[in-house]
Structure 1
Amino acid sequence: MLAGLTAQSALAEVPGSLVKIGVLTDLSGPFADQVGQGSVAAANLAAEDFAKEAGGLKVEILSADHQNKPDIGVSIARRWIDEDGVAAVVDLPNSGVALGVAEALREKHRTALASSSASSDLTGKACAPTTVQWVTDTWSQGHSTAHALAAQGAKSWFFLTVDYALGKTLERDATEALTAEGGEVRGAARHPLGTPDLSAMLLQAQSSGAKVLALADTGADAINAIKQAGEFGISGQMQLAALFLQISDIQTLGLAAAQGLLLTEAFYWDQNAATRDWSRRFAARMGGRMPTMDQAGVYSATLAYLRAVRTVRSIDGETVVKEMKRAPIDDPLFGRVAIRPDGRAVHDMYLYRVKKPSQSRGPWDDYELVGTIPAAEAFRPANEGGCTLAP
């Protein structure tokens, strides 16, 4: 019994009063604009803001490129914990990487802050008492967009899906919402990550007779699909539904190509005074680039984690996450955030339409608000995801 108590006491300490957080991200691949160096900058901003209230704790931010390979991501996370004393890993774009790393951190009793992973399985069948999923997920993205388009009568869909965990769960969750609205799926085509030529799949979508081309992908793949759909004239025949685009993608496309797209986001830099103030600080470090919702999520998840560590004086994953779940968080970027027993951080979501070039007042003025999805409706009910931690 005494040995057990001693081990638990050692586990609960913050060694040297130093909290190390690893930003595990995509620095060179298709998601680099959504996350990448911007996520590292956001984590550093969180560490600097926390320093004003740290209570004697110091923070060190590490970063690495997982190359969108789960085995590399897991290897980095294990090395960080075993050799560098990292207490938490944040960002985790690419759902396959996130699922593998979250499981490794569960085994090591450290915290996974999956702020940029969208697989709803992270708070479903793969949930863990050491995982928090912050920004959005495939259920939220798929249901919000499907509901909005079905309300407009666009109830026949064709899916263009990236063939890994993100795409598969986006397609699954959007299909569930679409059929619940009385809609139907006319077909689907899957492509590997980073496929340059989508022409055969787009022609298949065009011949399906569906009203909606649903893009169950993101980053460079979604940008490529939208550009090629325009070249084939498909964007004039079918409504394009971007199930997981972010403002960095709209900037790459340009308003002329992206205008009219409907998309669901958790954060927009020009949403209110608080988001504008923080985004300008971010932009000053990123050559004028405004943050994506994923990058904003890195900041908020990191700051909430550090505050919980300060309270419990522990880097034990279960202990810190339990503290994060204890009470709602008043977050400057996402508003009121409550972390449920399944690890899902719940907050309002927003449906935006991309502006026409003539509507934009200047650089990065890309969105017009279509509607707000209240937190209670924006995410899958906790008891429907298959999480053993849920009530």
Structure 2
Amino acid sequence: MADQPEIAIVLGTRPEIIKLAPIIRHCRERSIPHTVIHTGQHYSDSLNDVFFAELGLPEPEYELEVGSASHGKQTGEMIVEIEDVLLEAEPATVLVQGDTNSVLAGAIATSKLSIDLGHVESGLRSHDRTMPEERNRVLTDHASDYLFAPTDQSRRALREEGIPDERIHVTGNTVVDAVEQNRTLAAERSSVFDDYDISRGEFCLLTAHRAETVDDEDRFASLLRGAGRVADALAREIVYPIHPRAANAVDEFDLVIPDGVRTIEPQQYLDFLALESEATLVLTDSGGVQEEACILGVPCVTLRENTERPETLAVDANVLVGTEPDAIHEGAVEMIDRTPAWPNPFGDGEAAERIVDAILRDEDRMTVTG
């Protein structure tokens, strides 16, 4: 065991916890030394620490509690804090996942030290450089030693940017691992349908939380009007677990939640997974929810002009509509009767094993040749 590397896993948001949980579990099952560094980018317990307990994970070894701030201040504080931890823990490899400020901060701190950097879910591109997430993921990819691309399309995007082939590993997406590990548990444990009197298979699910969506009064109001039209046209209630950011925007802008759209509290992961599994249609501005809906066989309408998950479009599991009410209505009508016969483009649920194996193989090689 002494010749195995120590892996440090940097995370800070709910999606990162969910998608890195399979890697943490895999390290624990194989007794691979690892350290979890939680930046605290999501600072609300309802969106953060509770997921560790719910997913059966131990508490992180390091909790930085950075919290909310401007992009520059938040990222800068995380770089300083992460560097201090890495100098203390001395891991051989750091893993980050996705495209948040925690990811960029972890990438910058690691790249300044003699530590390998691995980017889980690399190669995703929306080709919209106005998105902070797009800049984060591009910068992180180009700083990384290991680029764990979920699909061949992601690998092609990396090659087109001149990244050497030997640094790219197509592994599948750990979201498949997470969904497969947790969907049965969600069905058994979740009481969300009884708690909110929701009829399985008779509702649509809405998520809208991105800054470019809910921080723009006109855009958010337009999205809500579109959701109301969908509820009316499909004669189905739309259930909206409303993110605190969105709830604050509703109050600040004095927006009206349309008839047919019911807001509920943000849900823990297993409850949200249960809702996704039993919805007839998902409307979302989230990249991760696009993936999960595709994996679960639930038609999806994406409330954005672009997506870094084009695989969902290619298999006809998803449609892009933006936030105009007419387009949302048309997209929902198009997708509601879509037969979920599409193939899962995100892998077979063994991404975590492939990611860890790639790191161990390289460490073994360096031990032999060194």
- After TM superposition, is the score higher than 0.5? no
TM-score range, shorter chain: 0.3 to 0.5
Q: TM-score, normalised by structure 2?
A: 0.33
Higher RCO (CA 8 Å, separation ≥ 6 residues) = 1
- Would you tell me which structure has more strand in proportion to its own residues? 1
* TM-score normalised by the chain length of structure 1: 0.32
